[in-house]
Amino acid sequence: PVLRVALMGLGGYAQRVAEAMQSCKRAKITGLISGTPSKLKEWGDKYKVPETSRYNYDNFDKIKDNPEIDAVYVITPNALHHDQVIRVAAAGKHAICEKPLAISAKEGQEMVDACAKANVKLLIGYRMRFEPNTLEVVRLRETGEMGKIKFFQGQTGFVAGDPSQWRLNKALAGGGSMMDIGIYAINGARYMIGEDPIWVSAQETKTDPVKFKEGVDETIQFEMGFPSGAVASCLSSYNINHLDRFFLSGDKGFAEMWPSTGYGPIKGRTHKGDIGKPHTIHQTTQMDAMASIILDGTKPHLPVDGIVGVQDLKIIEAIYASCKTGKRQTLDLG
Ligand code: NAD
């Protein structure tokens, strides 16, 4: 069977997902949710979604009566994910939600609970967790190829353009670079090292307080400590370009990914040479894999269930607390 997906929020990233889904074997677009009638018509015509499966933000609860929709992929500004996913669950549909899962760990947990209660799946759009070069590095680390892992470095960032975009609006974004791009370094540290952090410390630099208002972080440097003694040193920025690099160091070898999280191709090499897995379109691979998780109960090698997103939000909150207090924060991700 094929996973029949309604896309919610027809913006820039949804466009990329929609195009990528044209190459999916297991997933297809069967519904659209948007506040803009002209987009519903344009996208509906293009992706052959009938008018009866086009909804707006006021009436999308009616998907509950639509047998052509199995899941909704929420691709709206961060602060909206919480209420939208809870409504999707209440309609009895599976939810796929973009990162960050929500704008707080508390809201994220409420989403996890709502989906559990409704007996639907909640998956987070962490596309790197399906990317072949990334998975190969993870596999090599798991075989012991790199020995005992001691250090991870993650650099993620770009210069955020238009100052009026929702990404620079705390109410819609929940924060700044950390919520949007720093989250890749956090998430990457966890799958590259293969452990969850037990402490963080962080420092913020703000050079442009007009563009990056109170609560919207421009650049944050942070460190994380892991149970084995491994440490991570990361940088998240909305004001530095070309930051897309992971480095993992063990006592017998290393892995480097550069680019590490961009849309691709992802390039990886270890102390032994290039990884060189062929490029796949991330969102195509992700949606086929998610169809298999939802329809067949397949367990992905790197989990993408909602709880992973809640844990990343707990880490982000601790990073923000450390920036404020100047103190190291201990973490218990449960
Ligand atoms: P975007 O601004 O291009 O699109 C957002 C869409 O939401 C627009 O169509 C907008 O009309 C709609 N929207 C609905 N209600 C809105 C409201 N109240 N205010 C503003 N817009 C509203 O943003 P995007 O880049 O598509 O990001 C959407 C989500 O996808 C975010 O959560 C983002 O973090 C995530 N994202 C993920 C990736 C990835 O690689 N996984 C990449 C880009 C974006």
Q: Are 119 and 133 part of one and the same domain? A: no
Nearest CA-CA partner of 221 in 125, 89, 326, 67: 326
Q: Can you give the pLDDT at residue 334?
A: 84
Q: Pick the atom of ligand 1 nearest to 261's CA.
A: 40
Q: Are 185 and 326 part of one and the same domain? A: yes
The full DSSP string for 21-44 is HTT-SSEEEEEEE-S-HHHHHHHH
The pTM assigned to this predicted structure is: 0.98
Pick the catalytic residue from 184, 191, 238, 320: 184
Please tell me the distance between residue 325's alpha carbon and the centre of ligand 1 in angstroms.
31
Domain boundary residue among 89, 124, 159? 124
Show the ligand 1 pocket: residues with CB < 6 angstroms: 9-14, 35, 75-78, 80, 98-99, 125, 127, 166, 172, 180
Q: Are 103 and 178 part of one and the same domain? A: no
Q: Pick the atom of ligand 1 nearest to 36's CA.
A: 11
Q: Pick the atom of ligand 1 nearest to 180's CA.
A: 34
Pocket of ligand 1, candidates 13, 17, 40, 178: which has the most ligand atoms within 8 Å of its Cβ, to mutate?
13
Please tell me the distance between residue 98's alpha carbon and the centre of ligand 1 in angstroms.
9
Q: Can you give the pLDDT at residue 13?
A: 98
Please tell me the distance between residue 329's alpha carbon and the centre of ligand 1 in angstroms.
31
Q: Is 113 exposed, middle or buried (0-12, 13-18, 19+ CB in 10 A)?
A: middle
Please tell me the distance between residue 172's alpha carbon and the centre of ligand 1 in angstroms.
10
Q: Pick the atom of ligand 1 nearest to 282's CA.
A: 40
Q: Are 202 and 325 part of one and the same domain? A: yes
Q: How many domains does the chain have?
A: 2
Q: Are 170 and 314 part of one and the same domain? A: yes
The residue to which tokens 């559990």 are assigned: 116
Q: Can you give the pLDDT at residue 81?
A: 99
Please tell me the distance between residue 253's alpha carbon and the centre of ligand 1 in angstroms.
39
Q: Pick the atom of ligand 1 nearest to 14's CA.
A: 26
Q: Are 23 and 160 part of one and the same domain? A: no
The reply to whether 99 belongs to the active site is: yes
Q: Domain of residue 93: give its range.
A: 3-124
Please tell me the distance between residue 220's alpha carbon and the centre of ligand 1 in angstroms.
23
Here the CATH number for the domain that contains residue 178 is: 3.30.360.10
Q: Are 67 and 144 part of one and the same domain? A: no
**Domain contains 247:** yes
Q: Can you give the pLDDT at residue 331?
A: 98
For 116, the token pair is 């559990």
Per-residue pLDDT reduced to its tens digit, 87-100: 999 999 999 999 99
Q: Are 136 and 87 part of one and the same domain? A: no
List of the chain residues with pLDDT < 70? none
| ipTM > 0.90 for the complex | yes
The reply to whether 213 belongs to the active site is: no
Please tell me the distance between residue 162's alpha carbon and the centre of ligand 1 in angstroms.
14
Q: Are 8 and 62 part of one and the same domain? A: yes
Pairing type for strands 94-97 and 71-74 reads parallel
CB contact at 8 A, 70 and 4: yes
Ligand 1, atom 5: closest residue by C-alpha = 11
Per-residue pLDDT reduced to its tens digit, 269-282: 999 999 999 999 99
**Domain contains 150:** yes
Residue 148 phi/psi, 5-degree rounding, is -75, 125
Per-residue pLDDT reduced to its tens digit, 62-84: 999 999 999 999 999 999 999 99
Here the CATH number for the domain that contains residue 114 is: 3.40.50.720
The region that residue 297 occupies, defined by phi over 0 for left and psi between -120 and 50 for alpha, beta otherwise, is: left
**Domain contains 53:** yes
Pick the catalytic residue from 99, 121, 191, 320: 99
